[in-house]
Structure 1
């Protein structure tokens, strides 16, 4: 039997929105096909993530300057240790890290 306080805690965990995932991000501007089969468009607001389903929309926030953008997952990656997302050049520009090449971000499903 589960106590009322444990049941309330379980309900809060199940119904709470997913917490943000934070880590490194970089950008890429290829013109080849993505893992989803569509052609990579550097001007589109898209990103690569290792496991999220294609089509997932994420709000990505640059932790260094507070800028955020919504992107759609259409590729797999990144394949660099410590990075959780590869963004299109357009998304990186909106987030303000083109020159740096990489930054720290937090992700939330949009």
Structure 2
């Protein structure tokens, strides 16, 4: 009888831990400070250029971030593209996602979003 009681108590304790105390996996990063960056000019193909201003949405757990890596990534992604591609809204959103993925890699998860604050082609 004592063994059955201990067994029932152990099952109840395990079920309680599973439903109430079990860790719920990695939590989604929370938005922190928005870090504006100075606008840069990027050379496009055909003698055109893009003036690009950005702001980085950092996470609350972000360490001190330096915008130089974001600017370098933007230059690498946008340089040499045709002005028609850069001005196409669908292509622009694809380029933003590509930039976000590159910044995820470079900043090790400290940057969760990129906002274009200036986007002018000539």
**TM-score bracket, shorter-length normalisation:** under 0.3
Higher strand proportion: 1
TM-score by length of 1: 0.26
- The structure with the larger Rg is 2
TM-score (norm 2): 0.25
